Amino acid sequence: MQKQAIFQTKLLPYALVAPQLAIVLIFFYWPALQAVIQSFLLQDAFGLSTSFVWFENYVDLFKDGAYFEAIVRTFFFSFAIAVSSLSFALLLAVMADKPLRGSMLYRTLLIWPYAVAPPVVGVLWIFMLHPSLGVLSRYLRDMGVDWNPLLNGNQAASLIILAAAWKQISYNFLFFLAGLQSIPKSVLEAAAIDGARPMRRFWTVTFPLLSPTIFFLLVVNIVYAFFDTFGIIDTMTRGGPGKSTETLVYKVYTEGLLGGNLGSSAAQSVILMIMVVALTAIQFRFVERKVTY
């Protein structure tokens, strides 16, 4: 954790950590603390008086069917995005890991979407699949699909999942490729000599050895789907139609924007915090295991 060789200066280290500490305290801990306090308070309709209500805000939230639906929806989105993006990225990575001519070019051509911002992703996809002017909507209609994601909640949800998964392909691809390249080639050669054909080699050797990477990416993708889809949703559907694409983060945002119930909004933030803590804890347990492996 620390060096043996160090400086003995007394005040300098405090000066060095001061800027980061100030920002962390002012913009991270103070607001987080405010959210926690606020979540235990109830304001009357005119904001004139507040009272301490223990967990009432939380209880109300969980009694509210809409909140529960948002939780289920968020988890569904997360898994759908993670699974679709991970499987497609893995397929591409396995192909790119082969000794092909131009493999560097393939990598370059596959990783750049990482740099596209979520709101831009939303704009690109809504434009392609816009009910009236989208270039792909034409073909869907020709095939007999009644395509209108602006009115049909399921179609809106699948559009969000598609766009969000698309953006994440490059990230997953990059980490899968790194994971594949770190598998010692001799192990695969040994499997080949042991009579395993390519497909069997993949499922019995490569895939198990890749499992730490898969697990790591699963967590990262879930975190991504929780938070970074905000920009995609906001430019594509604004949570609609109805509430069919409203995730937990989006709900906090819109309800806060309407300036409604402060206590409820704070309670939602606190629940999100707890979820992040849980996800981070899972991720770190995994990192530890990777180290000892």
Partner 1 sequence: MVEEEGFRRYVAHIILWIGIAIVAFPVYIAIIASTQENALIANGQMSLLPGGHFFEVYYQTIFVGTTGSTREPVGTMMLNSLVMALMIAVGKIAISIISAYAIVYFRFPFRMPIFWLIFITLMLPVEVRIYPTYKIVADLHMLDSYAGLALPLIASATATLLFRQFFMTVPDELLEASRIDGAGPFRFFWDTLLPLSRTNMAALFVILFILGWNQYLWPLLITTRDDMQTIQIGIRKMITTSDALTEWPLVMATAVLAMLPPVFVVVVMQKLFVRGLVETEK
Scanning residues 265 to 284, which ones bind partner 1 (CB under 8 A)?
Answer: 265-266, 269, 272-273, 276-277, 280
Stretch binding partner 1 (CB under 8 A), from 51-59, 78-86, 96-104, 151-159: 96-104
Task: Take residue 129 and report the two structure tokens written for it.
Answer: 């699949």
CB of 157 to partner 1, least distance (A): 19
* Pair 223, 279: CB distance under 8 Å: yes
Dihedral angle of Cα 102, 104, 107, 113, to the nearest 10 degrees? -110
CA–CA gap between residue 91 and residue 22 (Å, rounded): 46
Stretch binding partner 1 (CB under 8 A), from 24-32, 53-61, 68-76, 78-86: 24-32
Give the up-direction half-sphere exposure of residue 236: CA atoms within 13 A in the CB hemisphere: 37
- Cα-based distances in Å from 273 to 56, 66, 172: 18, 20, 25
According to DSSP, the residues that pair with 52 across neighbouring strands are 41
187 interacts with partner 1 by CB under 8 A: no
66 interacts with partner 1 by CB under 8 A: no
Q: Which of residues 128-167 bind partner 1 (CB under 8 A)?
A: 128, 130, 132-135, 137-138, 166
Measured from the CB atom, is 107 or 243 closer to partner 1? 107
- The site map against partner 1 for 205-244 (x = CB under 8 A) is -----------x---x-----xx--xx--xx---------
120 interacts with partner 1 by CB under 8 A: yes
83 interacts with partner 1 by CB under 8 A: no
Binding test (CB under 8 A) with partner 1, winner from 253, 261, 263, 267: 253
- Cα-based distances in Å from 290 to 175, 179, 215, 230: 15, 12, 11, 31
Other C-beta atoms lying within 10 Å of the C-beta of residue 268: 25
Beta strands in 44-149 (DSSP E): 50-52
CB of 209 to partner 1, least distance (A): 15
Stretch binding partner 1 (CB under 8 A), from 16-24, 49-57, 67-75, 151-159: 16-24
